[in-house]
Structure formats: C-alpha cells, structure tokens
C-alpha cells in the first residue's frame, strides 16, 4: 500500500517535526540534513541511520538537559575521594584488611610479571624480580604520594576559603 500525501500535508508534517526537534535543541544543520536525506531518492538506509544517530546524540547531549551530571555527582565524588584518601593516605583501621590484601596480591603479581619479562628477554625470572618489584613499588609510591599531596593541598585550600 503506497502512502500518498499532498504537498500541504508534507509541509505540515515537516514543520511539526522541525519545531519538535528545535524544541529539543537539535541543530538546524541536522534538521536540514534529515529532510535532505528524506527528499533524496538515492538515500540509503545508512544515510537515514547516520542522521538518526547524529540527531539522537544531539538530543541526548548532557548539556542540553535539565540533569547536569557534573553538578549532581559533586557530592558523591567528594565522598569517593575522601574514601580513597582514607585507604591510601592514612592508616585508618577501616581499610586495614584492604591494605593487607593488596600487599598479598602484590606478592603474587611480581613473580608472574617477572616470569613474563624473563621469557620475553630470555633471562631468568630471578634476575627480573628485583627490577619488576622496584618499578611497581616506584609507580605505586609516586601515584600514592601525588594523590595524597594533591588531596591534602586541595583540602587546605578549601578550608582556607571557608
């Protein structure tokens, strides 16, 4: 069954769709591309999917909604940072077991990485264990120190603002 509509009906539908897309803050460029795709008899399903995807992304853009991710998650981010700080920068008893588990995990990972490095370079894993251990400890220590210093400096700055 072929659907036949008059030019007036088509323009009315086109105007309605345009208005709704503009209300959703869709770029006029995308709206024009939508109708160009529709009016082009050589348009493929990929053309329709492409413009549909771009319009959907434009509509779902976080900045175009009333829900602002960054503002709504500020509090949760603050709590997560506090917990990370408690875990890695303090000797808090709350995370004592996690620290022990990490050390045990580290003790298991070093020989595995050492064996992989040794196999790659054709040497024994005993020669690589010290180097791997030193590198991992250095990376973790630098990361920990950077986090703790950054968190401490930011906390002091925020306290000074109050």
Which one is predicted more confidently, 158 or 85? 85
Give me the residue spans of the domains in the chain.
7-64, 73-161
DSSP 41: T
Per-residue model confidence (pLDDT) at position 146 = 93
Contact (CB, 8 A) for 60 and 26: no
Across residues 117-146, what is the average pLDDT?
88
Per-residue model confidence (pLDDT) at position 63 = 53
Across residues 20-43, what is the average pLDDT?
87
What are the tokens at 162?
A: 């109050």
Per-residue model confidence (pLDDT) at position 57 = 80
23 CB contacts (<8 Å, ≥6 apart)?
none
Query: Torsions phi, psi of 74, nearest 5?
Result: -60, -45
Q: Is the pLDDT of residue 60 over 80?
A: no
Q: Is the pLDDT of residue 11 over 60?
A: yes
Q: Is the pLDDT of residue 73 over 80?
A: no
């Amino acid at each position: 069954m072929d659907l036949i509509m008059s030019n007036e009906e088509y323009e009315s539908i086109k105007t309605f769709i345009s208005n709704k897309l503009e209300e959703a803050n869709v770029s006029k460029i995308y709206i024009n591309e939508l109708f160009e795709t529709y009016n082009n008899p050589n348009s493929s399903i990929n053309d329709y999917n492409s413009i549909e995807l771009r319009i959907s992304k434009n509509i779902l853009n976080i900045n175009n909604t009333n829900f602002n991710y960054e503002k709504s998650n500020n509090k949760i981010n603050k709590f997560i940072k506090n917990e990370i700080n408690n875990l890695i920068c303090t000797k808090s008893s709350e995370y004592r077991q996690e620290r022990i588990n990490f050390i045990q995990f580290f003790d298991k990972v070093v020989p595995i990485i050492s064996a992989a490095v040794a196999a790659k370079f054709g040497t024994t894993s005993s020669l690589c264990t010290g180097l791997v251990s030193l590198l991992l400890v250095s990376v973790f220590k630098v990361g920990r120190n950077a986090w703790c210093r950054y968190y401490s400096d930011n906390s002091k700055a925020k306290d000074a603002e109050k």
